[in-house]
Structure 1
Amino acid sequence: MDIRQLRYFVQIVESGSLTKASRQLFIAQSALSQRMALLEEEVGKTLLVRSVRGVVPTQNGDALYQHARFMLRQLDEAVLIARQEFSNVRGRVTVGLAPSTACMLGLPLLRTLKEKYPGILLNVFSALPGHLEEKARLGELDVAILFSKTAASEMTFEPLLDEEVFVILPGNTKLVAPRKKSLTLKETAALPMVLSTPSHALARRFMLELERAGLEPNVAAEIDSLLLVMRYVAEGEGATIQPMAATETLYPPDGWRCLPISNAPMTRANYIYALSPQKLSASASIVRAELKHITEQLIASGTWQGVRLTPTVAEAIGEDRQASQGLTPV
């Protein structure tokens, strides 16, 4: 299997027709059919079938398509960056990050760009997810990390990581026994909770879990500012529901306790968005690549806890490492 075969396969799936794909690829239809037959023989599965709608992928074909599209995008991005004269890359790039995400990625990204790409001026726009999505839909962000697959239809996106959501309290809290390593949903509902307003997806998700369990929340305050939420919680006024990255907002003397909800675990998917390839500048493409690389480094080093790379990202990183070491993935 080679890169050209994968490009041909992806083009056929997206065209829905061998005839259309052969025209777009400037290759004879018979040669294209032969290439696909060889690919199916190598995979050992039928990947494409003809139907009244044209050529459509099988279940195995669709799985290959999803991974191949991601890998080809990564490869194209790597080639683009490799061709750049880094010292000459210039431009302004606006990156949208939620407050907790900015706590983890903001400084490493700024430091990396200053060291490697001094000609790139980074504008970090940090806001609650709803505001970020609005800015993304208006085309005012070059790159963003958002929490929904439908946040901005005019931008491209790919999965980045999954965050676990915790009950967060100050380290010296008297609200939870020191021996506790996790809480049930009922125990969580009994705590005075400092939450974002219901317009925030994380707060809505928590309320929905309580409703499903027939529990009533004990809301001490609703605050749409992560910094103020964490300061209020640090003073011992209650607990909050946040990913672990939120603890980077400030550092109380006794640290933080981050307790999972044992019978209602919650995670939040993170997607990296970017302008369409036609609109994405070289400098913005570099920033997107660096964001992904920094994320992988922070997770691998244990600096960013309570998260995991999504499978496609982890697989792509593993294959990149094997390739750099002269190994063939199996």
Structure 2
Amino acid sequence: MNLRRLQYFVKIVDIGSLTQAADVLHVAQPALSQQLATLEGEVRQQLLLRTKRGVTPTEAGKVLYRHAQLILRQIAQAQADMDAAGQGLSGAVSVGLAPGTAAAGLALPLLRAARTRHPGVVLYLNETYGSALSELVMNGRMDLAVLYGGGTAVHGLAFQPLLRERLYLVGPDTMMPPPETVPLRLVEEMDLYLPRPYNVVRKMVDDACAGIGIKPRVVAEIESASTLTSVIAEGLGATILPESMAREVLASSSSWLSRIVEPAVEAPLALCQSDHLPLSEPARAIKDILLELVAELPENLLASLGKPTPKRPS
């Protein structure tokens, strides 16, 4: 399969017009049409449907488009790695950090370390929800992500456990603060503000409650950290959060926190990457820094899993 034809095909799909794609590629339209026909002959599939508004990919075309993007990206990265051989690392590395987790606290240390050790590497940090980050990694549009999950296998993804965050009950000062630890059963008596059921932390809370035969009294579902902080500050009810986010809420509102026990509930944080796309050399270097930073955190799982912990260069 000719790489140039793949590049032409991706550009046609991106633009949605043979005529406009020919202009952008500086190729005569008849020649571009011939290249497309040759590609369709090679794969023995019709790849595009021609309409009055332009062209759209067939189902086979959509499949080839996804693969072609990954192939072309790997080719470009291979060229970049070869060009950088013997020189300092350079290139772009994208890292997802799930907000409201210990991952968010890695952002500044990661930026500092990357800038010091690999000034030629440009970091792109994306803080969004774990489901969106894992999809970006799966599609090859992001190199690495640190997010909650990894307990179950996901086709196309590989997870490396990093650490576990304990869950805390967080409430306003207008409510009587409980002791430093509180049995999970106590939440049955409270108005709770939690994320939607698909959220990893919410699933853990629901499962833990079901395990002891209670149902949390959820009065509203909130995904926004700022809105949740405002809810607590207004004294509207309580919430359950991982320790990192719980302490952020505590610092910005008149509230208290209490670690949940009986049973203790812990959220697993994992490093997510593709299980079939190789990391570029810059991405490998950034992954090593991430593992070093996690190794310095309490409750990290790197040593307990028998994995060698990266050491800082002296």
Relative to 1, partners in 2 of residues 1:154 and 1:223: Cα closer, same or farther, differing over 3 Å? same
Distance in 2, Cα, partners of 1:99 & 1:280: 24
Aligned to 2:94: 94
**Unpaired runs of at least 5, structure 2:** 1-84
Distance in 2, Cα, partners of 1:187 & 1:248: 20
Aligned to 2:115: 114
1:168 correspondence with 2:202? no
TM-score w.r.t. structure 2 length?
A: 0.63
1:157 correspondence with 2:159? yes
RMSD over aligned CA atoms reads 3.2
Relative to 1, partners in 2 of residues 1:167 and 1:314: Cα closer, same or farther, differing over 3 Å? farther
Aligned counterparts, 1:155-304, within 5 A: 155-170=157-172, 173-177=173-177, 180-247=179-246, 249=248, 252=251, 257-276=256-275, 279-297=278-296, 299=297
Aligned counterparts, 1:130-149, within 5 A: 130-146=131-147, 147-149=149-151
Relative to 1, partners in 2 of residues 1:252 and 1:261: Cα closer, same or farther, differing over 3 Å? closer
Relative to 1, partners in 2 of residues 1:99 and 1:124: Cα closer, same or farther, differing over 3 Å? same
Relative to 1, partners in 2 of residues 1:177 and 1:112: Cα closer, same or farther, differing over 3 Å? same
Aligned counterparts, 1:11-90, within 5 A: 88-90=88-90
Aligned to 2:308: 316
* Conserved? CA contact 1:161–1:269, under 8 Å: yes
Distance in 2, Cα, partners of 1:243 & 1:176: 21
Report the number of matched residues.
Answer: 230
- Measured after TM superposition, the shift of residue 290 of structure 1 is 0.6
- Measured after TM superposition, the shift of residue 132 of structure 1 is 1.8
Distance in 2, Cα, partners of 1:243 & 1:164: 6
Distance in 2, Cα, partners of 1:277 & 1:89: 23
1:94-118 deviation digits (Å, cap 9, x = unpaired)? 1112102343111211122122222
Aligned to 1:40: none
The residue matched to 1:264 in structure 2 has which SS?
Answer: coil
Distance in 1, Cα, partners of 2:215 & 2:110: 41
The residue matched to 1:122 in structure 2 has which SS?
Answer: strand
**Unpaired runs of at least 5, structure 1:** 1-83, 301-306, 326-330
The residue matched to 1:238 in structure 2 has which SS?
Answer: coil
Distance in 2, Cα, partners of 1:103 & 1:278: 25
The structure that has the greater radius of gyration is 2
- Measured after TM superposition, the shift of residue 123 of structure 1 is 1.0
The residue matched to 1:260 in structure 2 has which SS?
Answer: strand
The residue matched to 2:131 in structure 1 has which SS?
Answer: helix
- Measured after TM superposition, the shift of residue 282 of structure 1 is 0.9
- Measured after TM superposition, the shift of residue 280 of structure 1 is 0.8
TM-score w.r.t. structure 1 length?
A: 0.60
Relative to 1, partners in 2 of residues 1:253 and 1:283: Cα closer, same or farther, differing over 3 Å? closer
* Conserved? CA contact 1:136–1:152, under 8 Å: no
- Measured after TM superposition, the shift of residue 268 of structure 1 is 1.8
* Conserved? CA contact 1:233–1:239, under 8 Å: yes
